[in-house]
Amino acid sequence: MKSPRMTLAFDMMRHDNSAGRPMASSRIYDDLRQRILSLDLPPGTALTRADLAREYEVSQTPLRDAMQRLDQDGLIRIYPQSKTLVTRINLAQIREALFLRQALETEVTIKLTQVPSPATMAQLREIIGMQREVAPDHTQLRRFQELDEFFHFVMFEGAGHPNLHGLLRAQTGDMDRVRRLQTHSAERLATIIDGHERIVAAVESGDVDRAIKEIRFHTHKPDDWAEEYRVLHKDYFT
């Protein structure tokens, strides 16, 4: 489904915050992070290093590095000489992450609109095409969500700030977990795709005001956005 160029770029996005780290550590970090974000490892789950070391067939060193990064991301909490738990979702953290995301994405969109890159625009359209392909298949929801994240990474990369996307990823773990609790109807997925198309069209037009309007509409969520999910999944939240 993906071209070689897209495959390489997708892998780069997954490891954009792993420079200088051992490959095993990055692999474990990426996999555990996705398992936590997808709720395969739900909030409150106890993680045992010995079990994880056997599962990933690694020594304690790369596992420790990966878990320290997850702790820094706020996805797990390490209690020295005691236990390690997947953290519960924090509503206050979500509100801060939403504010940070909209602020950064608005600035990235402004920069892209002022100096639009044909290569970046082509890549964004390719991602939209891939989203259209997987959207009808409910078993491909995780891939659709990964492509959604990749779309925004390409925007950051095109604006010359890929590392800022890594910063944003580290702050949006709770928000991403709530997104996995959402029911994604065909209409909802179509709305996401339409939002991406409108952003690309606005950037290509060179109209900064229009582009700002589209990215803010696309990334906006009300302050109480996650409240209904807290009511339905009380055990997942602090």
- Beta-bridge partner residues of 77: 85
Q: Please give the Cα distance from 71 to 54 (Å, whole number).
A: 21
Residue 76 — φ and ψ, nearest 5°?
-135, 160
Residue 32 has pLDDT above 80, yes or no: yes
Q: The whole model's pTM is what? A: 0.82
Query: Would you state the pLDDT for residue 181?
Result: 87
Sequence-distant (6+) residues with CB within 8 A of 117 are 158
Residue extents of the structural domains in the chain: 4-86, 91-236
Inter-residue contact 94 to 171 (CB < 8 Å) = no
Architecture of domain 4-86: Orthogonal Bundle (1.10)
- Structure confidence by residue, pLDDT tens digits, 49-76: 999 999 999 998 999 999 999 999 999 9
Q: For 237, what's the count of Cα atoms within 13 Å in the CB-facing half-sphere?
A: 17
pLDDT in tens, 142-194: 788 889 989 999 999 999 999 999 889 889 999 989 988 887 788 889 999 99
Q: CA 70 → CA 84, 139, 206, distances in Å?
A: 11, 27, 39
* CATH architecture of structural domain 91-236: Up-down Bundle (1.20)
pLDDT band, very low/low/confident/very high, at 5 (cuts 50, 70, 90): very low
The answer to whether residue 12 scores a pLDDT higher than 80 is: no
Task: Give the model's pLDDT for residue 43.
Answer: 96
Of 166, 132, 162, whose CA–CA distance to 147 is shortest?
A: 132
Give dist(CA 56, CA 28) in Å, integer: 7
Residues 6+ apart with CB under 8 A from 202: 113, 210, 211, 213, 214, 215
